[in-house]
Chains A and B, each alone.
Chain A
């Protein structure tokens, strides 16, 4: 039985960023310890190190003072550590009991599975936690919450002393959350070490005993839940130095008439969205990962199906069913995942620039070579794209230059773009290029384009947007102007329970 889990000086760097630096804290048995921090604070990396998924560059995980050396997730499991991720890790075609006992099914003398014993053992566990489940049900047919319960029982059955939860309530309804919390409290009562990662403030106050706050990969605070409040926590999570990157920006000061209006838009992922965008305005969409920002952008762009509500362009309600319809109206999207959704990596930079306007650069039957070259050269000149030639494979360019290629495509003169949606435009981009991209965004606004920027970096959204829409749980939880907004107010809205 392990009584104490300790992280000592954990450091982990990924190419380009330091995900964790010298994080130390400990968690005691019988307690629920929360890990809190905004996007990119290093919570997931820490969990991955705990589960043996990745190895820390420096520092140790200690169980009862014993340093551990996990080479693979199986090592962590046999040391008594179970991590329950948001994505279920079960065989959905097998039954509840088979999943609970996966890897250690009871067998008889001949090596054949003893189903009778399996069923009674599984039922014992289900009764212990008083869950509404039948051991013989197929896991694939259970609800998300029920699947999670099965996974917790599996962790319990393995005799894990440390059980960590990564955002366990992300897709649960209130009634299910109540059952889950009862279960988690039961685990703590039995003397387990429970680690609980969540963005949701209310939950943390409901069940945890102490709170570890991380910021930008660093340990910030270790607080007793009973002795702290929301305000203190939010303050600990935010606040960092912003260089003069933003004060140097030359902004657009004039806003024109309304170009895009979204009324009561509802899709599978977002509900009742109202939003309006003027010429020359920059709207920032803030929120935590999974709040529905990308999904809202995709719906406006025609990439996802709209269930109800309207999108008005220039005050007219126009229905388009796919991205090509949106592009024809002058709405362009630069997606978050450049490699998967933004670019055709194994084709040339030129082909990636002209792909959206091919039908407009035709001369008689054939594509016009000179026109393609002209458009590509224009983009290189306008955005200072560093490439050996326009025939270079786009996958060979650096992240910043790839992003500029996407911008060059979305804003070339044949597109007549009026609404530009940028999803995490500076993700994975170095600081120098970031500043260039901020200026470009302001320049777009100056030419009368309405810009919507999605970003998970708070200082970024706060400083480049004119208006900030904060999303939480697929809804808009607040609208602020740049003057009104601060990291605290935005984060509080982003963590709001609806």
Chain B
């Protein structure tokens, strides 16, 4: 139990219950919802957002954010498809896309560390730049990636039920979960997210860590885009427009604070599951797609409200304790003085 709590965070039980309830609800509304094919689709859908969320979660814990993740994923897919069309073998194309993603991350890190723009604002602008560039490069048409051996990256199924993209995502989550909880690097991420000035005075170089996290995030986003391209057999310019927002929603739902310093991979996984099940379920029940956009926005606002409420409650608790302690101390000194006077 304690171990579960450590992996999934303190609100894990509520989250798991909610996720199960949502699944059950959609199962009742549509009996095909938990059919094998649909579950496979679900896992595929989870894997795209999930892969982006891994990088985003690390950034959020460090107190940063990358709103351009979705655009970076899409751009990565486009770059990969174009490389394959140019006759490059697909593994090389994959690496080119990853390097491209890393460069995107470096650009973000430059503006955050050197120009000192808030990550939230500067990646918002960069997202616009990438989305525009993608349309310039592709002329707003999907780019086909005709290479059957490449498609296998998206279509292989392990043990008959687990799609390869899903397995890749789970592996990434386990590896990054270990990095966060067990390594030096992971610990410093929490510390700079918790208090950047204190961390710097303790000998940590926050700029170096933040650069690494943006580069890592860019690569993971590009990887997600490449896998999506392999699954769809083409790279579509509008494929990942909500990628970053979904990733943030999932991470914050999963207990990672938007203010940094708190959260972990386990909660993140449930968060991703929850929002994917939710949107797939809405599709399955036949709700018009425009309303789904509304619903997704509402979940994000809800998750952020819970997050801010929690952070405030944490702060208040500390302040209350402090005042109580001081009052006790003050009173004990006052009685001490009285004793002394009467003596």
Contacts and interface: CB of A to CB of B under 8 A. Distances in A.
B182 interface: yes
B195 interface: yes
Given A358-B187, A367-B184, A324 B198 contact: no
Interface string B305-343: 000000000100010011101110110010000000000
Contacts of B314: 346
B261 interface: yes
B191 A355 contact: yes
Interface string B181-205: 0111001101100110111111111
B195 A362 contact: no
A8 interface: no
B339 to A, nearest CB: 15
Contacts of B198: 335, 340-344
A139 to B, nearest CB: 25
A396 B318 contact: yes
A355 B202 contact: yes
Given A323-B203, A324-B205, A355-B187, A340 B197 contact: yes
A345 interface: yes
Contact of B323 (A15, A351, A366): A15
A302 to B, nearest CB: 10
Contact of B326 (A16, A327, A365): A16
Interface in B142-189: 178, 182-184, 187-188
A430 interface: yes
A303 B201 contact: yes
A55 interface: no
A341 B197 contact: yes
Contact of B187 (A301, A322, A367, A399): A367
Nearest to A415: B203
B122 interface: no
A96 to B, nearest CB: 30
Contact of A323 (B184, B191, B202): B202
Nearest to A344: B194
A244 to B, nearest CB: 15
Contact of B321 (A342, A344, A396, A431): A396
B106 interface: no
Interface residues of B, number: 32
B199 A344 contact: yes
A365 B188 CA distance: 15
Contacts of A396: 318, 321
A260 to B, nearest CB: 18
B262 interface: yes
B329 A366 contact: no
A395 interface: yes
B195 A345 contact: yes
A154 interface: no
A333 interface: yes
Contacts of B321: 396
A356 interface: yes
Contact of B190 (A323, A341, A343, A347): A347
A214 to B, nearest CB: 22
A308 interface: no
Contacts of B187: 351, 355, 358, 367
In this complex, which of B182, B202, B203, B325 has the most chain A Cβ atoms within 10 angstroms of its Cβ? B202
A15 B202 contact: no
B190 to A, nearest CB: 6
Interface string A413-432: 00000000000000000110
In this complex, which of B195, B201, B203 has the most chain A Cβ atoms within 10 angstroms of its Cβ? B201
Nearest to B192: A344
Contacts of A322: 200, 205
Interface in A474-496: none
Contacts of A342: 198, 201
Contact of A16 (B194, B197, B203, B330): B330
Interface string A157-200: 00000000000000000000000000000000000000000000
A224 B330 CA distance: 38
A411 to B, nearest CB: 13
Interface in A311-337: 322-324, 327-328, 333, 335
Contacts of A16: 326, 329-330
Interface in B199-244: 199-205
Contacts of B204: 324, 355
Nearest to B207: A322
Contact of B183 (A323, A341, A366): A366
A355 B199 contact: yes
Contact of B261 (A327, A344, A359, A431): A344
A409 interface: yes
A434 to B, nearest CB: 12
Nearest to A303: B201
Interface of B: 178, 182-184, 187-188, 190-191, 194-195, 197-205, 261-262, 314, 318, 321-323, 325-327, 329-330, 333
11 contacts: A16-B326, A303-B201, A327-B203, A340-B198, A342-B201, A344-B191, A344-B261, A346-B194, A347-B194, A351-B187, A367-B187
Q: Which 5 A-B pairs have the closest CB atoms?
A: A344-B194, A15-B326, A324-B203, A327-B203, A366-B182
Given A344-B261, A346-B314, A358-B184, 14 more contacts: A15-B326, A322-B205, A323-B203, A327-B203, A340-B195, A344-B191, A345-B318, A347-B191, A351-B191, A355-B204, A356-B203, A366-B183, A367-B183, A409-B202
